[in-house]
């Protein structure tokens, strides 16, 4: 019986680790750097050291009423165009696709002075490259029921594991 409890505990901890490893929540600039004109250089140094994946969430610390965060296109990022943002008054955003996300200050003068960020987002770790086309001449295999998730663990698997972990810990 003791071995069963230990096994359940170990499995619970493994599943819990997957439940919380999918996405991360990041405060832009960390604990000590906020979104303001005085920190623009430090924010750009901070972002160079960060790696983001699809599903991660960015949160901006509260900033003065005299400024805001806009998500914009690459062109608007380069020219500090504030009149047609993709999203205005951003305080948090989930990075929902791989690629580049562009953020600028809602105050053009601040953007012109460098208060802007480019966030580069990598695909999720569990996405694998597409398999090579099959060369067999037989009938095609039926489609996978979860082909989009790819191999490995997904957030739903992690949540399932979290539930299993709670049950396992209750049994101990």
The answer as to whether 141 is a domain residue is no
Gap between the Cα atoms of 119 and 122, Å rounded = 10
* pLDDT at res. 62: 66
Rounded Cα distance, 13 and 153, in Å: 15
On whether both 87 and 6 belong to a single domain, the answer is no
- DSSP letter for 32, please: T
* Contact of 89 with 106, CB cutoff 8 Å: yes
Pick from 57, 22, 14, 60: nearest CA to 39 = 60
Question: Residues 65, 91: one domain?
Answer: yes
pLDDT tens readout for residues 1-44: 665 555 554 444 434 334 344 678 999 988 888 888 888 889 98
Provide the domain count of the chain. Answer: 2
Q: Are 80 and 119 in contact (CB under 8 A)?
A: no
The pLDDT confidence band at residue 85, using thresholds 50, 70 and 90, is: very high
Co-location of 16 and 38 in the same domain: no
Position 61 in a domain: yes
Q: What pLDDT digit, counting tens, does each position of 102-160 carry?
A: 999 999 999 999 999 999 999 987 655 555 555 444 444 444 444 444 334 344 444 44
Same domain (yes/no): 38, 69: yes
* Run of H or E including 118: strand 116-122
At a CB cut-off of 8 Å and minimum separation 6, what does 36 contact?
63, 64, 67, 110, 115
Q: What's the farthest any 2 CA atoms get from each other in the chain?
A: 68
């Amino acid at each position: 019986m003791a071995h069963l409890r230990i096994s359940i505990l170990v499995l619970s901890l493994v599943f819990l680790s997957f439940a919380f490893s999918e996405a991360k929540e990041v405060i832009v600039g960390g604990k000590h750097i906020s979104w303001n004109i005085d920190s623009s250089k430090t924010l750009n140094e901070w972002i160079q050291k960060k790696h983001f994946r699809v599903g991660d969430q960015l949160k901006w610390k509260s900033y003065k009423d005299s400024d805001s965060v806009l998500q914009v296109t690459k062109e608007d990022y380069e020219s500090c165009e504030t009149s047609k943002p993709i999203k205005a008054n951003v305080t948090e955003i989930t990075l929902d696709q791989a690629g580049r996300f562009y953020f600028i200050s809602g105050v053009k003068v601040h953007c012109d002075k460098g208060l802007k960020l480019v966030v580069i987002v990598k695909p999720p770790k569990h996405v694998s490259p597409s398999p090579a086309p099959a060369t067999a001449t037989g009938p095609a295999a039926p489609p996978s029921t979860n082909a989009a998730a790819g191999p490995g663990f997904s957030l739903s698997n992690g949540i399932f594991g979290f539930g299993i972990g709670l049950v396992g810990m209750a049994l101990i």
